[in-house]
Amino acid sequence: MELRHLRYFIAVAELHSVRAASEQLHVTQPAISRQIQDLEDTIGAALFERTPRGLKLTAAGVAYLPEAREILARVDAANRLARRIASGVRGHLRIGFVENAAWSGIVSHALSAFEQAAPDVALELQPMNTPEQFDALAAGRLDGGFCYRVGALPEGIAGVPVLEQNVVLAVPDTWPLGDAGSVAAAALAGKPFIAFPRNVYPAYYDRLLSACAERGLTLDIRQEASTETAILSLVSAGVGAAIVNAANRDRPPARVRFAELQDLSVPLPLEFCYVAHETNPALKHFIEQLK
């Protein structure tokens, strides 16, 4: 049985005439009659009663008609669904993000604009640090993520540049350091610092300490915390200073003051990263819109 058998049957049933169905479908009358006969042979029951006044549905035909309509309607709906998924306007997208990256207008605008353009794509947003996102991408647990790239991207991962941040100094607001709005690296010598453990993001940790060493500064790290939120909490408590992503200025914590670093720079490019061979149409749509 093929779908045309059902289409021909429905047309004849609704028009009560092979001739009228032929004109509507632009198919010859013998072809329609043959397909109706094939359908009846397949079912094993007569669907039409041939009378001098035309065709009349049998009891089997009356019962079969709404089922045939439902089958075609479901096929049409499936076709529409497949087209929408293939075009990237329906589906499911798992996106990771570094928390402070979402405070930027660009990231939040990109997510909001995509939700408006593709409201039938379910967005699942997962806060993770950059190395966690790279691991999740490689394992297939994420479709994409907003990551701070330090050094080369992992093999098989592609990226779309979004913006570039840098680092700033965060100090307790009770400290006089940074009152002028900027600080030289030399002024940080001997001050207690809070930092990430190296295993959280080794590439960033090494880049930061290397940039400090280039200015003759060795950070006196007294405490470690695994997130910048926790680091800034300790700064707020007066435990020490920290060098953090400048994005934190968009959401300054209480009792913390930020100051520019006059001669110390650690560029933090924010990129939307994804597996290079990923074929999810919704992801392709998201990347096109992001670009």
Which amino acid is located at 65 in the chain? L
Q: Which CATH number fits the domain that encloses residue 31?
A: 1.10.10.10
The reply to whether 70 and 81 lie within a common domain is yes
Would you state the structure tokens that stand for residue 18, as one six-digit string?
């092979």
233 bridge partner residues: none
Would you state the structure tokens that stand for residue 102, as one six-digit string?
């979402």
The reply to whether 121 and 262 lie within a common domain is no
The reply to whether 172 and 250 lie within a common domain is yes
pLDDT at 13 (0 to 100): 84
The reply to whether 257 and 171 lie within a common domain is yes
At which of 67, 86, 105 does a domain end?
86
Which amino acid is located at 159 in the chain? G
Residue-range definition of the domain harbouring residue 21: 3-86
Which amino acid is located at 205 in the chain? Y
pLDDT at 91 (0 to 100): 81
d(CA 110, CA 102): 10
The reply to whether 156 and 274 lie within a common domain is yes
Q: What is the 3-state secondary structure (H, E, C) of 118-141?
A: CCEEEEEEEECCHHHHHHHHHHCC
Would you state the structure tokens that stand for residue 80, as one six-digit string?
């529409």
The reply to whether 274 and 259 lie within a common domain is no
The reply to whether 174 and 253 lie within a common domain is yes
pLDDT at 132 (0 to 100): 94
pLDDT at 286 (0 to 100): 93
Surface-to-core class of residue 256, CB atoms within 10 Å of its CB (0-12 exposed, 13-18 middle, 19+ buried):
buried
Q: Which CATH number fits the domain that encloses residue 222?
A: 3.40.190.10
At which of 62, 86, 110 does a domain end?
86
The reply to whether 186 and 253 lie within a common domain is yes
pTM of whole model > 0.85? no
d(CA 109, CA 73): 38
The reply to whether 79 and 10 lie within a common domain is yes
At which of 71, 86, 101 does a domain end?
86
CA distances from 84 to 112, 121, 261, 281 (A): 20, 10, 50, 9
CA angle, residues 92, 97, 99, in degrees to nearest 5: 135
The reply to whether 155 and 245 lie within a common domain is no
Going edge to edge, which strands form the sheet with 256-261?
Answer: 182-183, 256-261, 167-172, 242-245
Q: What is the widest separation between alpha-carbon atoms in the chain?
A: 107
- Backbone φ and ψ for 144, nearest 5 degrees, come out as -170, 170
Contact at 8 Å (CB) between 142 and 95? yes
The reply to whether 108 and 32 lie within a common domain is no
Contact at 8 Å (CB) between 206 and 212? no
CA angle, residues 64, 69, 74, in degrees to nearest 5: 125
Total structural domains in the chain? 3
Q: Strands 220-224 and 192-195: what pairing?
A: parallel
Would you state the structure tokens that stand for residue 175, as one six-digit string?
């400290």
d(CA 20, CA 11): 8
The reply to whether 54 and 138 lie within a common domain is no
Per residue of the chain (291 residues), give pLDDT as tens.
Answer: 788 888 888 888 888 888 888 888 888 888 888 888 888 888 888 889 887 777 888 888 888 899 888 888 887 767 766 766 665 556 889 999 998 888 767 898 999 899 888 888 889 999 999 999 999 999 999 999 999 999 899 999 999 999 999 999 999 999 988 777 899 999 999 999 999 999 999 999 999 999 999 999 999 999 999 999 999 999 999 999 999 999 998 888 899 999 999 999 999 999 999 999 877 888 998 999 998
